[in-house]
Amino acid sequence: MTYFRKGFGLKAAIEGQLTADYHSAVVEQFRANDFRLTAGPLTFLLAREFGFCYGVDRAVEYAYETRRKFPDKRLFLVGEIIHNPHVNAKLREMGVVFLERSPAGAFDFSVVTPDDVVIMPAFGVTIEDFARLRDNGCVMVDTTCGSVLNVWKRVESYARDGYTAIIHGKSYHEETKATASQVTKYPGGRYLVVFDMADARRVCDFIEHGGDAAELARHFSHAMSPGFDFERDLLRVGLANQTTMLSGESLAIAGEVRQSMLRRYGEANLAEHFRTFDTICSATQERQDAMVTLLQEPLDLMIVVGGYNSSNTTHLAAMSRNRGVRTYHIEDASAIDVESGKLRYQPTVKQPEQVADDWLGAAKLIGVTAGASTPNNKIGETILRICAVAGVEPDI
């Protein structure tokens, strides 16, 4: 096995291509003008933290470097590098072949040979998938985000010490699958994925009062380790989180489980039954904090740009909607049809796209932000299309 994780030192060689693919003069104008841009009667306010985070930047750069390092080799990617259709399309144009899951749920590595190069995405891959690639003998290029690795170390330590990892996340998300798999490094390692506070309270109720374990097993059937025993495996728990979840919710869930353990076992015995985490992703936190600040403005409209399957992007949109601001989550600028004036958007996570006609209306103050996997050029193009629908020119 040949394994790379620290880059190839080719950043200077790919810098021009990255700039051409993702730079935006419009976004630079925002930065130069205190994150504000006017266009006729419209004023746009851009969140002060938005778009590509460090982990995404690194993953994308590393993928571009890999293509440059191995120009004559077949290059594969496990799933998507990040959850952004534009970035993934660019990699396809560069000849990267995307490995998909089979109907049974496992990635199909049958086409990979020892002569090929395989990129692992920013979310990471499961222990099982890593082992399959290692045994294949191919060249492995690992772009897993450092924040994700910190969570892995946390859940691994729980499993090592006999604690079940309770993970706040989406059981179907690549990152959570990879995180959950880390417990399998130790015999008896266990995990349980809770999606939200309602899930957490189901678990807390069982911790404190017991109940119908079979009903819980049905509810969490796709979100727990094989052979999970609610009577046995909730005696000692440690909390962890998918890095792109709402940080406030992750902390609140940890607090809720702590209180249940406190009531069940008492303060003197709490450390024997409960551990918590310090793995909130700083980039996710910064983008959510910036959204909170932006929502203090009297916005008429909020536009959130990013992949529909991007967890951190959908949470930013939810934050805005929950504050009562008219919010449109769009994948990219192509969602805005200048000719008809219509806009395609996702109302809430996993719902089908809808089309809005008079979405701009009489809006004058428009908030804009983007998920951590959204490149700057997609933000800039969105601003320009909104201006075109309104029939105005931005002051750039």
Q: What is the distance between the alpha carbons of residues 203 and 261, in angstroms, rounded to a whole number? A: 11
- Tokens 């395609």 correspond to what residue? 344
Q: CB of 197 within 8 A of CB of 253?
A: yes
Q: Given the DSSP bridges, would you call strands 365-370 and 301-305 parallel, antiparallel or unpaired?
A: parallel
- 272 annotated active-site: no
Closest to 239 (Cα-Cα) out of 286, 185, 174, 169: 169
Q: CB of 81 within 8 A of CB of 121?
A: yes
Q: CB of 346 within 8 A of CB of 308?
A: yes
CA angle, 308 then 122 then 314, to 5°: 25
* CB neighbourhood size of 129 (10 A): 21
Q: What is the distance between the alpha carbons of residues 173 and 312, in angstroms, rounded to a whole number? A: 12
- 36: which 2 tokens? 């504000």
CA separation (Å) from 3 to 120, 137, 138, 264?
Answer: 11, 10, 9, 46
Q: Which of 175, 272, 297, 353 is catalytic?
A: 175
Please name the helix (run of DSSP H) or strand (run of DSSP E) that holds residue 196, with its range, or none. none
Amino acid letter, residue 114: P
- Tokens 């449109």 correspond to what residue? 328
Q: What is the distance between the alpha carbons of residues 131 and 140, in angstroms, rounded to a whole number? A: 11
DSSP 8-state class, residue 161? T
* CB neighbourhood size of 2 (10 A): 10
- The set of residues, in sequence order, having a beta carbon less than 8 Å from that of 226 and lying 6+ positions away, is none
Q: What is the distance between the alpha carbons of residues 292 and 231, in angstroms, rounded to a whole number? A: 40
- The set of residues, in sequence order, having a beta carbon less than 8 Å from that of 292 and lying 6+ positions away, is 319
Residue 55 Cα to chain centre, angstroms: 11
Active site residues: 175
